[in-house]
Every structure is written in structure tokens, then in C-alpha cells.
Structure 1
Amino acid sequence: MMISIFEWLEPIIQINHNLVLENKVKFMLQNITQNTINISSNVHIVDLYATTPTKFQCIKTKKLLNNISTTICLHEIKRDKYVSGAYGDSISIWEEKQVTRILQLLIRHPHLHLIDIGANIGTYTMYAASLGRFVLAIDCFAPNIIRLRRSIQLMNLFNQVVLIQNAIFNHSGQSLRLSIDTRNIGGQRIHLLNTHSYKYNLSTKNPYIVKTITFNEVLPILNAYGIRSALMKIDIEG
């Protein structure tokens, strides 16, 4: 199920902090990474500077609104026929109409940033960050995470994005299994019929075991960055 919130012109996050100046952003990221602010230990903030395997295709995307382009790293189309399959020789992108609408709102309202829940390979995240906005991007699936991290590295957007590798859930700290769809790698959903708790380790080679957090646990990150207003895009399987 996709829930896209495009029409919220009023702030959806209200935190009593001033916007962080550009030259303070990297310092704040270091504070967050070092867990010197009050962030739950269940929240996994991805190291954007870590070495990323490059055995996948990364492309320069189509320009939207005449001049906004970015880089996206793709899955094999046979495994991701919908999202990665939507990119064709820089003439199309995934959900172009919706992404364009988000960019129009961000341009019209310069105080807005983006919260991208279910970021997948990062279409919304990368376009918004390339526009110069802060993005809090959340995805639980490791193959998506490494592709999005590589896109961030190629575009030098380290100071624009905080990337979280967790599943948003109504309980925090649970290790749950994702379903598998061999032709739609972005179509996983959390198995709720089996209450068995799986062993979770960030170094595990099984990307279908994910750790849960609640949305409230990422609010200190927005607080640290001084984010007072944001659009929220939600695209998760229900």
C-alpha cells in the first residue's frame, strides 16, 4: 500500500529549534552518529562514508522541472520490475508525476524538508536532496540501503541526508522477517502471522531479517537538525 501525503502545506513536525545553518550540518551528523544526543539504541543510522559495493548500475536521471536531476543506483530489472524497471535511458523515472509534485511543493515552500519513509532505492530522497533540502530517509532492506548510500556518495550529498536502516512498526526492538517477492524486490512486507523473534545482527547476510523502531524514535534527529517543517512521503507495504 502506498500513502503519499502531497498536499500538506502546513508544517507537520513542530519542534522549537531554529533551522541549522549549512556549516553546522556536518557537526550535527557527527553528534548523531556518535549517539551524543538521546537516540534509541534500536535506531540504526547508516554510515554514509562506508565503502559501498559497486556491482550494480547507477544512472543519471531525467531532469525534472527543466533542471533538477540526480543519480539513482538500480536493482536488476528482472528482480525489480516496477521501481528499477521504471528508469529507461534517462527518459523516465519511478512515479514521475508524484516526484514532480513533491519538488514543486518544496520549491514553493522553502522552509519545508522531506521525511521519506519506505525510501526504497531513493527516488524521492535523491531528488529532494539534490534540490538542497534535508532528507530523513528510512528503509529496512539492506540491498536498497547500499544502493541509496552509493547514490548519495556519487552526488556528494553527505550533508543533506540522514539514512536509517530500520522498519517502522508499532513496537520497537523486534527482529522480524520480511516476505520475499522474486520479481518485485520492493514489495516485501513484515510477516505478522509468525510471532517468532529472529536473531538480528547488522552484519547478517540475510537482508530479510529487519529490526523495528517506532516513528517517535527518529524525532531527536529532526530536533538535532532544527527541522521544524517537512513533507512526509510514506510508501510501505501493508
Structure 2
Amino acid sequence: MPPFSHGAPGPIWRPAPGGWPVPGQAGAQVLRPSAGAADYLRFLLGYLPLLAALFVVVLLLGAVFFETAAEGTGTAGGIAVGLLVVVPMAAHLVWKLRRMFTGTAVVVSPRGVELRDSLGFEVRLAWTDVVAVDTVVDRFSPARGVRLGDRADPGAPVVRAPEFRSRGLIGWGERVVPARAPRFVRRRLAAQPRDLATGRFLVAVGFGAAGAAGPDNPLLRAARHHRPDLFPRFPQG
């Protein structure tokens, strides 16, 4: 269930077990990811090697086909086919990023931080259980990568989707992983440490999930307020 019903006048939020604050309660602030042009460009640049390699492969295949069909049309035909494949793929990536931005919400309250997204992932981290402010991974990539060209050819190039890293909160909290999550994501999350005494998982919430990066990020400001002890070496944010 998405954290928000788009088009509705207000948020629809399924209360979490344990009495976590919901949007609308006193002291519960709803935050969203930054969605500027720079964020989309950064996202696409991460996939640039994959898109470029795919374009070259499709261009070569298309050039061979068109040159065989009509001499002298190979280059133009290959470029056209390459663009017809790569441009829609880039557009699909942008659409997925927009869906992530519009479907992600972070509720910051005196109790802690709760994040939910449109895929069904949930993370809850109490301020008392935050142990560090450090680099977090915003997106997992398949370890096996994607082999271009002939999959049976061990010499064919392999490209991997990037992992996007940023600063955020790390600590022992609650995590809900949807059943439809990719298998490699579930494996990576299952391999994360777990506190056997409390049953809590090692979780992270990136500052980018709650606004633009920088010292004015609202989640960063909230963390400074509730846990100033975490920032002795980060006076500039």
C-alpha cells in the first residue's frame, strides 16, 4: 500500500504497530525526497555506461541488418534503431525515479524516523537506537550484472546498475520488506546484521529521502536536535 493516495486531500497512512506517530499528529512532520532536475540527471548519469553500452550493441546489430538489406543504410539505420531502444529505456528509468520520489514519505517525530515507499518497503528507527551518521546505500544493484551481446560468450562485456550512496542515519530498527521485492534485494537485506537480543535489524535512512542535500536538510536538522551527540565531527553538516 503506498504511503500516500495521490490526488486525495491528505495522506492515507496505515498506523504501524507500537504506536508510532502518523501524519497529522502533533510533532509528526511529513518529509519527501528532493525531486529537482539535478537529481534526475544524477540518476541517469549513474546508468550512462549501461545505456551507452546497450546503444553500441544495438547500433552494430542494426547496422548489419540495414546494410544487408540496402547497401549504404547501415550507419543511419543502426543509429536509428539504437535511439529507438535507448531513449525509451532512459524515459522508463526517469519514470521509475519519479515514482520513487512521489511514492516515498518520511515521518519525523520526537520518537524517531519512519520511511515508507510505493513498493511497500518500511523502515522505522527510534532516535534512541541511532548509532551513527555515515554513508548509506540508497539503491542496491544486482551482483551478477547484465551481460551484453551473446550471453554464452564469457568475453562479452558485463555492466551493473549503480549503487547510489549518500549520508544518512544508521541504527537498530524495524524493517518491512515486501514480498514482491527482487530476490537479490531480499538477500542483501537478509545478510545485514541483526541484534539478537532485541530482534531489531540494522537499518538506514538517507537524508536524501527527506529533502535536498545540504546543511538545511530537514531530517539532518531533526537529527541534530534529537541526537546532537552524533555530530561532534560534523560541524558543517
TM-score by length of 1: 0.27
| Structure index of larger Rg | 2
Structure with greater helix percent: 2
Which fold has the larger relative contact order, with Cα–Cα distance below 8 Å and residues 6 or more apart in sequence?
Answer: 1
TM-score by length of 2: 0.27
